[in-house]
Amino acid sequence: MRTGTTARGIAVTGAALLALTACGGGDGGDTADGGDSGEKQVNVYGTDGNMGNALGESFTEEGSLAGMRGTTPLTQLGDDFTSRLLEIDPALEDFNYAGETYDAIMIAAIASSLAGSTDPAVFAPYINGVTFGGDTCEDFASCKEIVDGGGNPDYDGVSGPLAFTEPGEPSRASFGILEFGDDNTISDDTQYVLAGDEANAASDEGPAAAAPGATSTDPLIIGTLLPQTGDLAFLGPPEIAGADLAVQEINEAGGVLGQPVQLIQRDSGDTSTDIATQSVDNLLQQNVDVIVGAASSAVTRTVIDKITGAGVVQISPANTSDEFTTYNDNGLYFRTAPPDTLQSSALADLIIEDGANTIGILARNDSYGTGLAEKLVENLTNSGLAEDSIELVIYDPTASDYDAEVQQMVELNPDAVVVIGFDESARIIEGLNAQGIGPQR
């Protein structure tokens, strides 16, 4: 693998990478009369950080993103669930991570019901076991019925069967392969692929359940730490709607241990601000039992010690950095989003299937970007691609421009470019288009 450096870029050997990828089309470009123009169409790829309609809003010229493809953790959401979300927020345009957020709250509520307690230290050991073994249930009402009858619920959520591993993350997950159309919006023909193996789920289902019919004088209080501002703000609306819907349905089914669940929503911002720390302080002052968030792995890295150190459960619906698989979290951190180990496999398969032989990777310099990059390179080389045919450039997401990084891609003359970033990726793609190696038709 070749590594590139620029005034703002550093060569990496790995951590977790958020990738934006877009597939630009075939290898050859034809003239209007059908002759070969001699130019090739470079495939551009991305992942969940930018694979949403919010990216297209940064472009005014038709076809700027046409054919760009990428992966994102995504289950084929049914019309019933999306309709319920739209009742919460009729303005929703994307549903990314809405299911994972909904599931995070459901799992916490079921675990608390099983434990007969809203104390995080008491119900946290039940969380993994809620996702495997026992009798299958797909909503809170049916899971509560199993708990009240002295049974063992296995919650299969909106985002998939979950089946948590010992560290508290999905052992298998569904990924959507998304593609932008000529109008720079995500097309409707999303494909779905699975990665991982449920055989890797944990075997310990946790302590014995409390006696059926247990009640509590203390309500389960759930706080959210989701992006209302910052570079992942486009993920906020579907995640917040997922949280609102989950709490609404839990309370309609009788709440947890005889009490309605309370929900307190706060902004996570991004790492350019101190909003997340302030929000966490506010939530802890209000004695929350669970914090759902953050969306960004880098933001979680700034607050995870404060949350778990306070004895509060943290469940992220969107963190993908592999760092958290082995993080010392006192057994209190979980996530419904799959780790980059799984996403990088799905992304590498997509790139290899498209026939790329030379690949450039532009990744933002944070735990999300650099980690996914390492796993992506690992999967590409395991698929038979030579290391020296991959060039990895790490960039500063706060840079004023990305001319040097784009020039490195021009000099590489790749078959494919993977852009790993958040909203700054729009400027990178504009640069790639200007140099004739972007998705623009």
Taking CA atoms, 93 is separated from 75, 110, 129, in Å, by 16, 30, 34
CATH number, span 98-164+201-336: 3.40.50
Per-residue pLDDT, averaged over 149-158, amounts to 96
pLDDT at 37 over 80: no
Cα dihedral 59, 75, 322, 103 in deg (nearest 10): 110
pLDDT, tens digit, 9 for 90 and up, residues 162-192: 999 999 999 999 899 999 999 999 998 899 9
**Is residue 411 within 8 Å of residue 403, measured between CB atoms?**
no
pLDDT, tens digit, 9 for 90 and up, residues 272-316: 999 999 999 999 999 999 999 999 999 999 999 999 999 999 999
Determine the Cα–Cα distance for residues 268 and 227; give it in Å rounded to an integer: 5
Determine the Cα–Cα distance for residues 332 and 94; give it in Å rounded to an integer: 30
Tell me the pTM: 0.80
Confidence of residue 94 (pLDDT cuts 50, 70, 90): confident
Domain borders along the chain are 2-72+341-434, 98-164+201-336
pLDDT at 52: 87
CATH number, span 2-72+341-434: 3.40.50.2300
Matching CATH topology for 2-72+341-434 and 98-164+201-336?
Answer: yes
